[in-house]
Chains A and B, each alone.
Chain A
């Protein structure tokens, strides 16, 4: 007896959309079971997780704050993944982007003017792209695994950041806390709505993220570059036949995804945080991988998926406060979600068949 996966003739557009919805539903069910096992009322816990954060203005702002970096990174990763390049190190590229962006307000704290923030954003993209260039160049030159190299570089980036905020970039007036100095007003992302009934902390990061998603959609669907990426992902041989250099494509997608991850780093330090700290991201670079797949590697789908995963962060915090659930629950949710997205993707594309070898056949072979 064995299980066989046979490809389905044609996965309809309906099933394609249904897969992520199914995955979310399955995650909710698993969550409910887990809550029950922990002795918490499942429905109340699910409510605290997924509905409560949506019911207040301040938490909607928080949602936008958390969704922005997720969307930015995932949009870049989707381009990478579509071309069959596996950048797993967006977290590191985010950190290096944040370091590059912070260089300006930290090293030149007296710089003021409207050019400061745009320059920081550009620096962040350069930093993220440079960090992502390392696995791309090593892959192209020596055939190394971009998965391993990009992942390992995350830890290098973490230590680099740690060194900077504890050493040379530590705030001289900061009582030896491992933090950089706080950024000046011109180095901060303005808030979208700062006062009034709808006011809150949400800043322009989310606008930048949506703009990046729209730009990427246009690139993927209307431009030759997007076509190159698509062909490269579908068949390396056909891409070579088309004259698309696989190394150039690899280089481009890593630079592109690294730049967007770096930008996400700038949005974090120049937005919600306002300074450089040893820890600037609760794993956005890794969570964005889930966002990219949940959004079906499509920039617009990624916007929706980004908000959903942002909700899982917020819900984790809320459930910790209101019903005393461990914040590890958020990570469990994210893991289950990625698992069920991949599983439902497989089930949409393949039919599972249980093959039973009949007795007479076995006898015939003996």
Chain B
């Protein structure tokens, strides 16, 4: 007689208003396996995990823990039963030490025993960590180790990991996988949520695919191609990106944007200073800027967009010094900008969709505002319809606010807003962050088309797959410094990974000839 599964779900159903986030999901997780949970954004992954972890309660169906029915009233109950979770977004206090942060999650523990246990856990599982280090001084990879150690200290039987590699350099991924395999060999179960299918294929024994709240299939990832897994997630075929050569090869010699010795102090205490950044962008090319989060990407974006002013000559647009020009003046010269954060930066939750278009489209050329300063509602409304159609934005009917759109749909709207006018230059930070596979492909295709049409595009992204897919040249930003841009075809992931770790000033990676 086989052992009962560690955790099984029976017909789990949960709705939010008219939306069925989870619909009759049944599955079993056994001891000593790493199982991937796959699905596009909005497929119901996070809802299901929240139901499992006691943060939400199912309307129908229930869970069994080691064969006995169980109902977790809250995450504390789930933790007590033996479920641990490592969240994608860290909840750490930068001003506190590692041990203090761990103590915050485990009230009632004496500090010195905690330091001791932190040492033990981090040594046992190959997660090097100094309990007395200040979190503010640690890299993203080290911060993640804190989260993992914090979870392991409670000795969980089932560990849920939400996109753990999204913050890691390629070099940091392998040690993490070794840790996870050690945990599996001890008989623990890991539910691994990720968008990176190659990783899933390397690590997981089985993969559960969710789509529109339903469990579509359980497959063996070691034995299925990444493309086939992606198509199971999307429920259709995924178009290949179509790279066209720019039509007018002569025009490509023009330097569109030149950044020369750009330095900038940071406004916030934990921000990053930009140090002597140099690059050139020509017409018809996509320049990728890779790097781990928090290495100066947002500061660089703000300097390029004009939200932060710099020395006049540090940024030259169309041969004219533009460092002191504001964002609207740069837009007037054919530039467009899409920042990383949508809520409260490129869009405002409480404004209607039409008003959100006006954010970056209120110049005379857009026709949305009359000379006397009145908003032309009809023009803006037509613009909205055009963008919604072109970008396939899924929005509820009627005049809704941006809060009614999912993150992915909001990003489609924001991208569409910028692509809706003639552009020479597009600077975009994390173009497909939180956007599902189908829409990501559309956005990347739009970027390629824009470059093929003779515009220049700067793509700042933490997604290496994305950059290798669309960038003609690539540079890496680490600790506010930008490496030289090199043609993507000459670069390997290892090269980029070394640069991401900040090794640019120590040694140049050997380049393929």
Contact = CB atoms under 8 A, between A and B. Distances in A.
Interface in B326-368: 326-328, 331, 337, 339, 341, 344-351, 355, 358-360, 362
Given A223-B374, A224-B374, A241-B305, 6 more contacts: A222-B374, A223-B375, A235-B344, A238-B344, A242-B362, A365-B108
B107 A365 contact: yes
A95 B350 CA distance: 37
Contact of B327 (A222, A227, A240, A366): A240
Interface in A199-238: 222-225, 227, 230-231, 234-235, 237-238
Contacts of A361: 76
Interface residues of B, number: 30
B358 A227 contact: yes
A245 interface: yes
Q: Which of A224, A361, A364 has the most CB of B within 10 A?
A: A224
Nearest to B302: A240
B375 A243 contact: no
A92 B307 CA distance: 35
Interface string A332-366: 00000000000000000000000000000100111
B345 A243 contact: no
B315 to A, nearest CB: 16
A162 B362 CA distance: 48
A224 B108 CA distance: 56
Nearest to A243: B328
Contact of A222 (B339, B348, B375): B375
Interface of A: 222-225, 227, 230-231, 234-235, 237-238, 240-243, 245, 361, 364-366
A227 B360 contact: no
Given A235-B348, A240-B307, A241-B337, A224 B369 contact: yes
Contacts of B238: none
Contacts of B341: 237
B350 A242 contact: no
A241 B350 contact: no
Nearest to B79: A364
Nearest to A240: B307
Contacts of A365: 107-108
Contacts of B305: 241
Nearest to B327: A243
A364 B426 CA distance: 54
Contacts of B374: 222-224
B348 A238 contact: yes
A237 B359 CA distance: 11
A237 B349 CA distance: 13
A275 B173 CA distance: 80
A262 to B, nearest CB: 23
A241 B108 contact: no
A353 to B, nearest CB: 13
